[in-house]
């Protein structure tokens, strides 16, 4: 017996509904309770554009909620350090320090800009500005650190990237080999 158009459509819809009903509510729901994915399992987090901007004492650290807690603590510490070191803890400059996070991986993060700037959410005056630079934060012995050797405004020497085991990523696509700019191939 042949089913008409309406009969076939109803059968297909019933089949699709049965398949959908058999799927877990979310990708994580198919895992056991102890198997939920964590950031440690993720390969990387890449933010759109220049990255996520986090100003000191602005409450914006939550913008990095998909990064490890230890990484967020380093960002907060760097913001506090810049306020003290570059702005002498001036109250008017309390929100001048800025860290812009572009990419975070398990053991390295590219910071597309870090420094103190006027404006921001606290409308810091021009006198707070000291400029900025890009940086790499790295994880060593279980702790996130911000080595001075991995900050600057020029391309890094290839041996510096190699010494710190920086992978090819946003911010590390090229390097200086002593003679010319070359593609960074770790």
Which residue range is the domain that position 129 belongs to? Answer: 37-153
Whether 54 is covered by a domain: the verdict is: yes
Whether 91 is covered by a domain: the verdict is: yes
Whether 14 is covered by a domain: the verdict is: no
How far apart, in whole angstroms, are the C-alpha atoms of residue 112 and residue 63?
15
The total of other beta-carbon atoms located within 10 Å of residue 42's CB is 14
Total number of domains in the chain: 1
Per-residue pLDDT reduced to its tens digit, 15-62: 334 433 433 333 333 333 333 334 444 558 999 999 999 999 888 999
- The set of residues, in sequence order, having a beta carbon less than 8 Å from that of 169 and lying 6+ positions away, is 44, 103, 105, 108, 110
User: Average pLDDT for residues 145-151, to the nearest whole number?
Assistant: 94
- Tell whether pTM > 0.85: no
Per-residue pLDDT reduced to its tens digit, 84-104: 999 999 999 999 999 999 999
Whether 28 is covered by a domain: the verdict is: no
Whether 168 is covered by a domain: the verdict is: no
Q: Which residue has the tokens 């994915």?
A: 37
Whether 66 is covered by a domain: the verdict is: yes
Whether 15 is covered by a domain: the verdict is: no
């Amino acid at each position: 017996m042949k089913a008409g158009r309406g009969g076939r459509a109803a059968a297909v819809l019933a089949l699709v509904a049965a398949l959908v009903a058999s799927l877990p509510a979310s990708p994580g729901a198919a895992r056991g309770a102890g198997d939920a994915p964590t950031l440690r399992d993720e390969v990387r987090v890449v933010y759109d554009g220049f990255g996520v901007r986090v100003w000191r004492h602005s409450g914006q650290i939550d913008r990095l909620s998909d990064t490890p807690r230890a990484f967020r603590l380093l960002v907060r510490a760097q913001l506090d350090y810049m306020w003290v070191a570059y702005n002498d803890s001036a109250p008017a400059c309390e929100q001048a320090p800025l860290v812009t996070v572009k990419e975070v991986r398990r053991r390295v993060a590219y910071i597309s800009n870090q420094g103190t700037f006027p404006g921001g959410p606290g409308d810091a005056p021009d006198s707070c500005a000291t400029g900025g630079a890009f940086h790499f934060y790295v994880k060593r012995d279980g702790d996130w650190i911000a080595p001075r050797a991995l900050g600057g405004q020029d391309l890094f020497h290839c041996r510096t990237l190699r010494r710190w085991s920086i992978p090819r990523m946003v911010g590390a696509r090229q390097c200086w080999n002593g003679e010319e700019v070359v593609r960074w191939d770790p």
